[in-house]
Amino acid sequence: MARWSALEEVCGLLGLKPLTKKGISFRHVRLAPGERAYVTGQPFRSLFVVHTGFLKSMMVSETGGVEVVSFPMRGDVLGLDGVYARSHPSEVIAQSLCELIEIPFQALVELWQDMPQLELGFFELISRELTRQQHLLLTLRSLSAEAKVARFLWSLSERFAGIGYSGTQFILRMTRQDIGSYLGLTHETVSRVMHALQQEGLISVDQRALTIHRSDVLQVMRRLPVRSRSR
Amino acid sequence: MARWSALEEVCGLLGLKPLTKKGISFRHVRLAPGERAYVTGQPFRSLFVVHTGFLKSMMVSETGGVEVVSFPMRGDVLGLDGVYARSHPSEVIAQSLCELIEIPFQALVELWQDMPQLELGFFELISRELTRQQHLLLTLRSLSAEAKVARFLWSLSERFAGIGYSGTQFILRMTRQDIGSYLGLTHETVSRVMHALQQEGLISVDQRALTIHRSDVLQVMRRLPVRSRSR
DNA sequence: CGTCTGCTTGATCAGGGTCAACTCAGGTGG
DNA sequence: CCACCTGAGTTGACCCTGATCAAGCAGACG
């Protein structure tokens, strides 16, 4: 019933050099919208690679609120943050029908013994994740609300284009609330800014449906600071 | 002239299980205040473990400003974010006399072949870093200025205590500007908040010298949201 | 002794948060 | 089939926090 993927296919999804090993394959897991790949605090056993579908990852902040950390899609890895504590600090919810490839961590570590390149590949993967996170942190705290939203839409567009969808016309799988949480804004502000962007003719929004008319302008706007935070 | 450290000592510093291997040792690097361990864009060759001293790590944000990413001290690892691109996205500046232990990455990867536990240890290390970064991101964007500063001082205090210094009385090695950049505030606001905390009797500040009187109150305050961001 | 950088303090202002009311789409059940 | 409900999204009015601009001070150093 469940599909299986060979190591080679997984490497391809992750953007690693395609390595092959006989007899190694990984089970697919199906999630219906609203189902979770794992919940906060659950013991860490496996990593997951997104094969199909759209998800959101959430985490409780020190202030007790649940905030959105990322919106994973095809090719993204889930669960890397659980390696250290051996339990998941975040949780991941499917926003659509999803198919994940489960990679039992124990098996992965054993694989590394024979395949140093694979090991290095994963190390690079998590290092990239770290760099992205840092970048996001720096960037978000120095942008205006408008620039944040522009940046968000632009980055979504890039990601969609990267996995074979249209980069100019797509469905937002998340609520305004979720976008706000991710960007550190309220849902009212997100709504207002999207309206403003539409007025300026950069995009069209109708509920969740989005069309980008001027990605060039978005790309410039996404790096406009609030004013000049650090002189 | 230069000191060397055995693998076992490095593991100890990092909080890993102390592993021993004959003939493996790592060179110490001395930095004077203001000197850099590496600069942005420099090819990635080595990780560094802080043995002594205090540093700051900086990165240019998408908006072009240079912002503070972290304030490393004893036991922290520098350079993990360079593994992916094989060049350093950030740079690290000594704020005091520092002694770093240089770990050539190539050598480390070779070591991993023989020592799976070491490999896993480093993977956990970087995973922890990722989790921390996520946590910081979530937390900072939902705190008031006062809570941010309280959290910052409290976390400094914990870290100082963890490496054998006093947790209640210490010198701030960084400028208000740097603290502001790290927390996403202006230096004026940092200054005002510290003044306010002093008025409330929680701390004493005199320039860079800091004494914490009520760490219990700080600990509570550090989790007070701006109001109630996510209802 | 002058200069520079870091720090403090005050006055002003605006971006975006808060609160509230209303619309709209989809789902449920009588 | 329609009334009702719920959650998402929109829009407006108001206000607060923290940024901006400006000025003055103190310690470090040539």
E strands within A74-227?
77-78, 90-94, 98-104, 169-171, 203-206, 209-212
* Mutate which: B57, B58, B69, B130, vs A, most A CBs within 10 A: B130
Could you tell me if B206 lies within 8 Å of chain A, comparing CB atoms? no
- Among residues B99, B98, B109, the alpha carbon closest in space to that of B44 is found at B109
Residue B60's contacts (CB-CB under 8 Å, 6 or more residues apart) are B40, B66, B67
Could you give the angle at which helices A116-140 and B116-140 cross, rounded to 10 degrees?
20
How far is residue A185's CA from residue A88's CA, in Å, rounded to a whole number?
Answer: 26
Two tokens, residue B38? 């590496």
* Strand C contact nucleotides, protein CB < 7 Å: 6-11, 15-20, 25
Which residue of chain B has the CA closest to A122?
A: B123
Whether residues A119 and B122 touch (CB distance < 8 A) is answered with: no
Residue B223 has what pLDDT?
Answer: 65
Q: What is the mean pLDDT of residues B152-173?
A: 96
Average pLDDT, chain B: 92
How far is residue A225's CA from residue A142's CA, in Å, rounded to a whole number?
Answer: 6
DSSP annotation string for B126-148: HHHHHHHHHHHHHHHTTB-HHHH
CA angle B124, B86, B43 (to 5 degrees): 125
Residue B60's SS3 state is: strand
Protein CA B210 to sugar C1' C11 (Å):
29
Tell me the per-residue pLDDT of A6-60, one tens digit each, with 9 for 90 and over.
Answer: 999 999 999 999 999 988 999 999 999 999 999 999 999 999 999 999 999 999 9
Could you tell me if A224 lies within 8 Å of chain B, comparing CB atoms? yes
The answer, yes or no, to whether residue A202 has pLDDT greater than 50, is yes
Strand ordering across the sheet containing A203-206: A169-171, A209-212, A203-206
How far is residue B53's CA from residue B94's CA, in Å, rounded to a whole number?
Answer: 8
* Mutate which: B57, B127, B152, B224, vs A, most A CBs within 10 A: B127
Residue position matching structure tokens 């890895």: A77
> Contact A67/A76 with Cβ under 8 angstroms?
no
> Contact B37/B94 with Cβ under 8 angstroms?
yes
Protein CA A206 to sugar C1' C24 (Å):
12
Q: What is the mean pLDDT of residues A207-231?
A: 74
Residues in chain B with CB shorter than 8 Å from the CB of A143 are: 63
Could you tell me if B227 lies within 8 Å of chain A, comparing CB atoms? no
How far is residue A141's CA from residue A164's CA, in Å, rounded to a whole number?
Answer: 31
- Among residues B180, B211, B175, the alpha carbon closest in space to that of B193 is found at B180
How far is residue A147's CA from residue A162's CA, in Å, rounded to a whole number?
Answer: 22
Protein CA B191 to sugar C1' C11 (Å):
17
How far is residue A206's CA from residue A177's CA, in Å, rounded to a whole number?
Answer: 16
Residue B50's SS3 state is: strand
Tell me the per-residue pLDDT of A73-115, one tens digit each, with 9 for 90 and over.
Answer: 999 999 999 999 999 999 999 999 999 999 999 999 999 999 9
User: Among A83, A134, A223, whose Cβ lies nearest the Cβ of B59?
Assistant: A134
Query: What pTM value is reported for the model?
Result: 0.92
> pLDDT over 70 for what percent of chain A?
96
Residue position matching structure tokens 């909080």: B15
Whether residues B134 and A69 touch (CB distance < 8 A) is answered with: yes
The B residues from 31 to 50 touching A (CB cutoff 8 Å) are none
Residue B8's SS3 state is: helix
Whether residues A62 and B181 touch (CB distance < 8 A) is answered with: no
User: Among A59, A83, A142, whose Cβ lies nearest the Cβ of B127?
Assistant: A83
> Contact B167/B219 with Cβ under 8 angstroms?
no
Q: Which helix (H) or strand (E) holds B33?
A: none
Average pLDDT, chain A: 93
